[in-house]
Amino acid sequence: MENREAVDKVLEQIKGKDFVITNIKKGNTKSHAPAPFTTSTMQQDALNKLGMSLKKTTSSAQELYEGVEVEGEGKIALITYIRTDSTRVSIDAQNACRDFIAQKFGKNYVPEKPNIYATKKNAQDAHEAIRPISMQMTPEKVKNSLSKDNYRLYKLIYERFMASQMSEALYSNVNVTISAGDYEFKTTGRTQEFAGFTAVYKEYTDEEKQDVSKLPKLDENEVLAVKEIKEEQKFTKPPARYTEASLVKAMEEKGIGRPATYAATITILTARNYCTKDGKALVPTELGKNICDYLDKFFKQVINVKFTAYMENRLDEIAENKDEWHSVVDSFWHGFKDLIKNAEGSSLTMKPQPVETDVVCDKCGHKMVIREGKYGKFLGCSNFPKCHNVMPMPSEEKKPVAVCPQCGKNVFALKTKHGKTFYACEDRQGCNFMSWDIPTGEKCPKCGKFLVKHGKTVKCSACDFVQ
């Protein structure tokens, strides 16, 4: 309906009318088992179902592949090679899995012919799909030998592989048309008749797709008792932000990257502050947006999906000895060097513009502005380079921790680029005081240097005096 008035009109016209079933259409559908995991589908499912980041998934999978100590077995590998885009499975593994399914669930859960899955056109088929080495190594058997995350990931891989070799799930579908006055309403129901592969594995689905319900037994011309009529307003939603999982899926679909590069590529986005995470969603930062604008302005010809996929294919051809790498690199550099020259001649910068504050510089009287350096944000004089005065950011988190023993100004806690805490005078230009421990403000009675707090101990910063 276009508006509230149209909805009210319909409600008025069906008020007091009989709701009669005018048509029931029944049918059957089948749902085929999903293929065993590739690198990308494993990463997507681990995030969607287990909430594991790409980095954590890759780390856990590597440990399962390299081998773990299993009680009574020694150190053994639990899964096959984890960097693959192939869905191929060896015949021996397939037969062993089918036998295991027949024993555990019954022969009707084993398809008449083995399930074989098509591998995408540009896949590198050197390795099998990701699967357990042995079906006898059940998740329950190795649970006590694995960390929590390794167990959860192994269970997911094990169940996905077992499901890939199982029978289809069968459903009965019902489409019902209900008439009330001059209006028709439709609803759909579905009942599972045979679990098939869903006995061990349920595919991840978005909430928007979960709108099929189970209906009671209905007959045509049956008059339904109306308990309540609810109206609901729905809005068209903008496209959802990428998550790590959906971004991997998009990269794979567009031919960007390879199994070994998905996690590394996406980890860089947050590691370099190009984006942050809001729940699972990846949200671009101001730096990320600026870089996108910069690349779009100067490198649009090469920073795009088509060119990236094209270069991936050229590199594959080099690996397969179908092309010569010198000619590939030369053809790329011939055009790329001009793009670099054009970019280098521009004054465009990706640094954020300084934000003026109400804080007045105590050396020249100009306003202080917020700048950003390798140790984070700080206040710098807007009269730079004539005035080099800097101050720490005034915030509740950055309160002075002591008085500088050299000049008497405030000492603040700061961090190195490696995250280690140190203490320095606020006058970073005029005073060089720095200490790994907090100064107490008192002098050593033995040598006259300043005392510091080291844990619960007070000691001299220069000699062996301990208070």
In terms of Cα–Cα distance, which of 231, 72, 213, 202 is closest to 137?
72
Fold of the CATH domain 39-164: Topoisomerase I; domain 4 (1.10.290)
What's the start-to-end Cα distance of the chain, in Å?
Answer: 80
Indicate the CATH number for domain 244-344: 1.10.460.10
The pLDDT score that the predictor gives to residue 120 is 73
Can you give the pTM of this predicted structure?
A: 0.68
* Domain residue spans of the chain: 4-31+169-224, 39-164, 244-344, 353-395, 399-467
The highest-level CATH class for domain 4-31+169-224 is mainly beta
- Please state, in angstroms and rounded to a whole number, the distance separating the CA atoms of residues 108 and 194: 10
Beta-carbon contacts of residue 359 (< 8 Å; ≥ 6 apart)? 367, 368, 379, 391, 394
**Contact predicate 92/112, CB 8 Å:** no
Q: How many residues does the chain have?
A: 467
Task: Give CA separation, 363 vs 300, 355, 381, 434, 444, in Å.
Answer: 46, 19, 9, 22, 33
Phi and psi, residue 355, nearest 5°: -105, 125
Model confidence over 200-244: pLDDT tens digits?
998 765 443 445 567 888 888 999 888 888 877 776 778 889 999
Model confidence over 124-139: pLDDT tens digits?
667 899 999 999 999 9
The pLDDT score that the predictor gives to residue 139 is 96
Which residue numbers in the chain have pLDDT < 50?
A: 206-210, 396-397
Phi and psi, residue 21, nearest 5°: -75, 115
Burial bucket for residue 317 (CB in 10 Å: 0-12, 13-18, 19+)? middle
Judged by DSSP in three states, 6 sits in: helix
Burial bucket for residue 350 (CB in 10 Å: 0-12, 13-18, 19+)? middle
- Please state, in angstroms and rounded to a whole number, the distance separating the CA atoms of residues 304 and 312: 12
Active site residues: 81
The pLDDT score that the predictor gives to residue 207 is 42
Burial 80-119 (b: 16+ CB within 10 A, else e): bbbbbbbbbbeeebbebbbebbeeebeeebbbeeebebeb
The pLDDT score that the predictor gives to residue 29 is 92
The pLDDT score that the predictor gives to residue 433 is 86
- Amino acid, res. 277: K
In terms of Cα–Cα distance, which of 364, 375, 353 is closest to 428?
375
Cis peptide before 445 (omega within 30 of 0): no
